[in-house]
Amino acid sequence: MSITRRDAICSISGATIAGLSGLLTPEQLRAQAAAAQEPWPDRLVERPLRAGFPAPLPLNADGSAPEHPASAAGPITDPLMWRTPNRQAPEIEFDYRKMAIKVDTRGLAKLAGTLRFEDLEKLPRVSGTYLMQCGAPNPRGIVTWTGVRFSDFASLLGLNAGVHYCRFVASDRHYVDEAMTTLRHPQVLLVWMMNDQPLAPRHGAPLRLVVPFRYGNRSIKAITEMVFATPSLPMPPLPTA
C-alpha cells in the first residue's frame, strides 16, 4: 500500500509536527493542513495574513539599528533556526581560535584562501549591543556582540571597487547574499563573542555575521565560506557622437 506525501503529512498530529518544527502551534498546523486540501483558486483571492509576521523591527530614522546599553544584554529566546533534521548546529570546529573559513575572492581582491583567527586579531576589536529580531516574534533578544567591522575585514582583503556582493555559506548549508553597500555599514560585524563569552554552537560558533538593522536570518550563523562576486564587469562608456 502506498500513500501520498500529503496523506502522510495529514496523518501526523499537529502536536507532533509542532514539536518537530518548534515554530507553529498545533492549531496553526491543523489550519495549514486543512488549507492544503482545498483546491487551488483559479484566480487571485484574498487570504488571511500570517499572524504576528513580520514582527516589528524598530530602526532609527536613517535605517540603522538603535544601540542599547550593555546592561540590557541577555539571552536570545528560542526557537533558534538551523536547517538540519534535528534543528541543531552541525558538528564542526566550534573554537573560534581554530577557525578555518574559506574566502574566495575570485581574483577581485589581493587576498584569498583560508581565514584564520590571527587574521581577525590584526583588526580593531569592536562591540555593539543590538536587538536581534527574527521575522516572527521569536527568536529575539538584546545582545552584546564582539568582533570586527566587516568593512575593516573587506579592507584587509583589498577588495576592488567592482565587487558587488558576498555570499555567506553556513555549516548547515544555509546561505545569504548581501550587497557590499550593506556589509560596509559600520554596524555590520563579524563576531566570535556574545555577551562577553565565546559564541556557543547554537548561536553560530565559531564566527557569525551580525547585521543589526535586518531581520535575524540575515545574520547568518557558523560561517564556513565567503564568496565575493560581481554580476558583470562595468559597462564601458557610450561612444560620443
What integer pLDDT is reported at residue 228 of this predicted model?
Answer: 96
What is the spatial distance between Cα 168 and Cα 209, in angstroms, rounded to a whole number?
9
What integer pLDDT is reported at residue 17 of this predicted model?
Answer: 39
Q: How confident is the model at residue 23 (pLDDT cuts 50, 70, 90)?
A: low
Would you say residue 16 has pLDDT above 70?
Answer: no
Q: How confident is the model at residue 234 (pLDDT cuts 50, 70, 90)?
A: low
> Which residue stretches of the chain are H helix?
5-10, 14-21, 26-37, 117-121, 150-157, 180-183
Whether 9 and 92 map to the same domain: the answer is no
Whether 128 and 203 map to the same domain: the answer is yes
What integer pLDDT is reported at residue 233 of this predicted model?
Answer: 59
Q: Please provide residue 83's backbone torsions phi and psi, each rounded to the nearest 5 degrees.
A: -90, 60
For the entire predicted model, the pTM comes to 0.81
Q: How many domains does the chain have?
A: 2
Percent of the chain whose predicted confidence (pLDDT) is above 90: 73
What is the spatial distance between Cα 195 and Cα 185, in angstroms, rounded to a whole number?
22
Residue 160, domain member (yes or no)? yes
Q: Tell me which residue range forms the domain holding 146.
A: 70-229
Residue 182, domain member (yes or no)? yes
The per-residue DSSP string of 134-157 comes to -SSS-SEEEEEEEEEEHHHHHHHH
